[in-house]
Amino acid sequence: MINILMSGNNNVKDGLLIVVLSYIKHNSEPVTIYFETMDFRDLNPKYLPITENNVRYIESLLKKANPESSIKIIDCSELFKSTMPERLDLDNIYTPYSLLRILADKLDIPDKILYLDTDIMILSRIDDLFSFDVSDTEFAAVIDYLGKTWISSQYQNSGVMLMNIRKIRETGFLEKCRKYISKNKSPFLDQDALNRFVTAKVYLPNKFNEQHKRREDTVIRHFSKTIKWFPFFHTQNIKPWMVGQVHSVMKTNQYDDILNEYLELKNNLD
């Protein structure tokens, strides 16, 4: 069994669908996806939890491929409010849902779990990734494509993390992260904290979180914000569900096997 942790509100349903379709295409092992969500409409009317209907439809696709697979919704509404610091800075480019992953130590989840952002696509088998040794640290992750230049050569991207929940609880790692973000402001709030307090840096090969472009050995393609130098310096932030821009701006059709299926099925979502 492969265990995956994800998070978001109902706006990430398209990303979850693409992740599941890409997993099914390349992996036959049963998977349990633990999906953190919450109702935060008192902060923003758009911050609604992912709907039961959307999850059950996407889960039906998983179960069709392997009946042992499932998606478990974890409502973190009360946990977030009771655990996260009151002085938390929520005025940044990311939604509060990006912070749900640093509540992982408070959840009833397996000791070893793979955290994935919803803007990734699985392009190969992930059993080698899931079996990676993290016994001596809280998590393993790939070097951040932008952060290695602008922040630190050791700065890791948190969009794909193989997490050791048992170790995290022993060291109080995520508790330290939560305290840090209550007192500090930074562009990448929880990612900065994760990089600051991890006890031992364990690096995954780039193929497990390729943030720039697909390569021959890429296992997970992360559609994160990146820099383009030509024909002029600019940032690019195209997500996999932005199919038109994947074609016209990224100028690639190499993901169409998954994206065509996504386009056929997306109207089944609320």
Is residue 73 assigned to a domain? yes
Split at pLDDT 50, 70, 90, the class of 258 is very high
More reliable by pLDDT, 187 or 32: 32
Number of domains in the chain: 1
Is residue 235 assigned to a domain? no
Over the stretch 4-28, which tens digit does the pLDDT of each residue have?
Answer: 999 999 999 999 999 999 999 999 9
Query: Containing H/E element for 13?
Result: helix 13-26
Q: Which two tokens stand for residue 202?
A: 């364990």
pLDDT at 84: 81
pLDDT at 245: 96
pLDDT at 206: 97
Mean pLDDT of 186-206: 91
Is residue 250 assigned to a domain? no
State the average pLDDT for the chain.
92
DSSP code of residue 16? H
Is residue 240 assigned to a domain? no
Residues of the chain above pLDDT 90, percent: 79
Question: How far apart (Å, rounded) are the C-alpha atoms in residues 165 and 190?
Answer: 17
Is residue 249 assigned to a domain? no
Mean pLDDT of 215-223: 97
User: Which phi and psi angles does 106 have, rounded to 5°?
Assistant: -95, 0
Over the stretch 26-56, which tens digit does the pLDDT of each residue have?
Answer: 999 999 999 999 999 988 888 999 999 999 9
Is residue 239 assigned to a domain? no
CB 47 within 8 A of CB 12: no
pTM comes to: 0.94
User: Which phi and psi angles does 143 have, rounded to 5°?
Assistant: -60, 140
Q: Which two tokens stand for residue 171?
A: 């060291």
CB 190 within 8 A of CB 98: yes
Strands 2-7 and 112-116: parallel
pLDDT at 151: 85
The one-letter code for the residue type at 72 is K
pLDDT at 44: 87
Is residue 246 assigned to a domain? no
Q: Which two tokens stand for residue 196?
A: 């600051």
55-68 burial, b at 16+ Cβ within 10 Å, e below that, comes to bebbbebbeebeee
Strands 139-143 and 202-203: parallel
Question: How far apart (Å, rounded) are the C-alpha atoms in residues 25 and 221?
Answer: 14
Is the model's pLDDT at 69 over the cut of 70?
A: yes
Mean pLDDT of 219-247: 83
DSSP code of residue 67? T
3-state SS, one letter per residue, for 165-221: HHHHHHHCHHHHHHHHHHHCCCCCHHHHHHHHHCCCCEECCHHHCECCCCCCCCCEE
Is residue 216 assigned to a domain? yes
Count of helix runs (H) and strand runs (E) in the chain: 10, 11
Over the stretch 119-150, which tens digit does the pLDDT of each residue have?
Answer: 999 999 999 999 999 999 999 999 999 877 87
What are the Cα distances from residue 197, in Å, to 129, 137, 139, 166, 219? 23, 11, 11, 16, 27
Split at pLDDT 50, 70, 90, the class of 163 is very high
Question: How far apart (Å, rounded) are the C-alpha atoms in residues 203 and 128?
Answer: 14
Q: Which two tokens stand for residue 85?
A: 């610091």
Structural domain that includes position 200: 2-225+257-268
pLDDT at 115: 98
pLDDT at 122: 98
Over the stretch 77-125, which tens digit does the pLDDT of each residue have?
Answer: 999 988 887 656 665 667 889 999 999 999 999 999 999 999 999 999 9
The per-residue DSSP string of 85-110 comes to: -TT----SSS-GGGGGGGGGGGS---
- CATH number at 51 reads 3.90.550.10
